Structure 1
C-alpha cells in the first residue's frame, strides 16, 4: 500500500504520450471554436499513471493508515488542478467518493474536506471556482450589444464584472493590472483608448482585425504539413513557437530546414462570441469592468442613474 501511495507523486507517463500532446497543440490555433478547450486541457494535462493508481487505490478497503489516507486525499485535492476534458473532474470525484466510503464514520467529514469536497460542484463535472454567466445568452451582434451598453452602464456591479471577466476567459489571455495571461494585449487602459463599439467589435468579430504583434504564423513544412503558432524567438537553426495561450511558456521547436515558407494566419487566437453566454445585465457588468481597467474607483462606477 505505501509503495503504491508513493507512486501518486512520482509515477511518470510514457514519453510517447507527450508526443501526442505536442501534436494536439496544432489544433488550438487552427479552429478557435474548440481550440481553447484543448488549450486549457493541455496546459495542465493530468498524469495518466498517477490517475490510474489513484483509481485502483479507491477500491482498497484494508491496509490504510492515517498517514496514507492523508497522502491519498491530499493528492486527490491537488488533482483537481489538472485539466482533462469535461468529464475529468467527475471521474476523479467518483474515485474520491468511492475511497471515502471506506473510511470510518468519525473521520468522514475530515477526509471529505481534505479531499476537496468544497471544490466540486453538485454535479461533479465542474469546479466551483468563479460564478459563471446565468444567461440566458444570445448570439450578440455589435448593434444589439451596443444598444444595451451605450449610455447605460450606471450602477454596475464591480465584483460581478470581475467574475465574468474570468468566466468568459478574458483573464486567460489578457493582462489587467498586472494579472492574467500575456497572449493578447494588456487591457488595463482599454477604456481610455477605445470606445464601447470598438471593444464590442473586437470581441464579437476578432478575426476582422488581427494585430501583427499578437498574430499567429503558419509554418509550411517541406512534407506538406503545416504548424500554426506564435513565433516567440528564433536562432540560426530553429523557430521557437508558442501554441497554447494558457501555457505560452511551453515552446515548440521547429527546425528551419524543415520549413519551406511562413505566412501570417488570418485566424485570431481569440475565440469569437465569448459574450454569447451573457444576458444584457451581465454584458453591462462585464463592459463596465473592461472600461474601468479593473479599477473599482474608475469614473464608470461613479455615475448614478437619475
Structure 2
C-alpha cells in the first residue's frame, strides 16, 4: 500500500506547487465544466476554441508593458476577447459572411498578432508560457483570480440556469415569452471569456479551452439531463486534472498538455463505452422474428 501513497498522495502532500496546481485546476474544472456543457449544447465548441485564441493579443499587450504580471495580462485578455467577439458578430450581422467563418478569420489574425507581439520582447520560454501556461507555477494572485472567476460563474449559473437551458433548447421560444433572451446570450458569452482568461493563467491560450470542452463532450455520452451533464463534466475535469498533474510529476511531462491529454483519454473512453457510446449503439439488437 505504500506505493499507492507514494504515487497518488505524496506529491500533493509534500510539494506546495502541486497543492496550488491542484487547487487552481479544481476551481477551473468547477467553473469551466458547466460552461462547456452549454457551449456544447449551443453547438459553439469551436467558437470557444476561437475565442480562446482571440485573447492572446490582449494578454501579449499586457506582457509587453508589464511582463508576466497577472492583472495587466488578464485585463488585456478580457478586452481582446470582447473586441474579437463583437467584431466577428458585427461582420456576420452586416455582411454575407457566416459567424463561424468570421470568427475563424479573427482568431487566426489574433493568434498571429499575439505571437508576434510576445516575440518582440520575450524569449521562446515566455512564448511557451503564454501559449501553453504553467499550471505548476500558479501563485496566490493567479489562484485568487481563478477563484473569483469560479465564484462569479457559479453565482451567475445559479441565477440564470433556467434561462440558459431554455435558450439552448429553444431560443425563439425564450425570446417570445421573456426579455431575457438576448441578455442571457451575452451573459453566457461573458462567462465563456471569463473562464478562458482564468484558464489562460494555468493552461495558456492554446489549451485553456480544453478543460471547458473535453469534459463536457465526454459527459454527453453518459447523461441526458443538463444538470447531470454539468456535474459529470466537473467530475471528469477534476479527475483529468489530478491524473494529468500526477503524470507530469512522475514522468516529467509538461503539466498543461498532460491534463488535457488525460481529458482526451476520458473522451475516448466515453465515445467507446459510454451509455450512448459505440458499444451500445453498435450492439446487435435482438431479432423479433418468429419461426
TM-score tier by shorter-chain length is under 0.3
What TM-score, normalized by structure 2, do the two folds share?
0.23
Higher relative contact order (CA 8 A, sep 6+): 2
Higher strand share: 1
What TM-score, normalized by structure 1, do the two folds share?
0.22
Higher helix share: 2
Determine which structure has more spread, i.e. the larger CA radius of gyration.
1
